[in-house]
Amino acid sequence: MNLFLMIQTQFMAQADSIGAVDQATELAIPIIELTLKGGWIMIPIALLSILAIYIFVERYFAIRKAGQEDTHFMNRIKEFIHEGKIDAAIRLAQATNTPVSRMIEAGIRRIGRPMNDVNAAIENVGKLEVYQLERGLPTLATSAGAAPMIGFLGTVIGMIRAFWDMSNAGSNIDVGLLSNGIYTAMVTTAAGLFVGIIAYFCYNILVAKIDKVVFLLEARSSEFMDLLNEPVK
């Protein structure tokens, strides 16, 4: 009796798993069919989604790498400058190879010149580093705005198609006849909004991370200028 119950339980579990797979397959097929019913408008929306994902992933890791900092870097720079080892400080900055180190290197190379020149050199390098970090963000922002508009264009095209089919059908209007145009209108709108919303969130995530890096650059720039303004002991 117990053996029979065990076999029955295993059979029911296998049946449930097969049913879950069938449901997932049935769900995937309508999604593909609905995507195809969106028509050619889905092509630029798909391209924008791929572009947005690529920019986000590439910039996310680049910005995260730029925000990493050696906690001992500024202390060692301070020691080298106090000891007059300018060349050693430059070599350390080159070896570290981060936005902060490149900015500090520009300042070290101008030690001995007026403080305004040192500050200007640091600011120029800092602006260049921020510009490099922001590369691709305008395209991501454009994708966030363009995808919904392309989706709305698909809506207009779909409704025009539906009314065109109605006019050609005359009195023999069928729901199936109108479905293609309505499918195009609804699917492209949903796809455009989906891509636009995702791209918008991705853009703001990257902007927030860049702001943190900018704050770090400003903090280290101020620390370096304070170091140069310290009285000689």
**Pairwise CA distance, residues 14 & 4, whole Å:** 15
What pLDDT score does 3 carry? 39
Looking at the chain, the whole-number percentage of residues with pLDDT higher than 90 is: 30
Looking at the chain, the whole-number percentage of residues with pLDDT higher than 70 is: 76
Closest CA to 145 of 37, 52, 41, 36: 52
Query: Per residue in 82-133, pLDDT tens?
Result: 888 888 888 988 888 889 889 988 888 888 888 888 888 889 999 999 999 9
Task: Compute CA 76 distance to the chain's CA centroid, rounded to the nearest angstrom.
Answer: 35
pLDDT at 189 over 50: yes
Query: Per residue in 14-50, pLDDT tens?
Result: 445 444 444 444 545 466 666 666 678 888 999 999 9
Domain boundaries, the chain: 1-37, 40-65+138-224, 70-133+225-229
Average pLDDT value for residue range 151-176: 74
Residue 73's pLDDT band, with cuts at 50, 70 and 90, is confident
- Residues 52 and 202 sit within 8 Å (Cβ to Cβ): yes
What pLDDT score does 137 carry? 94
User: What is the SS3 assignment for 71?
Assistant: coil
What pLDDT score does 117 carry? 86
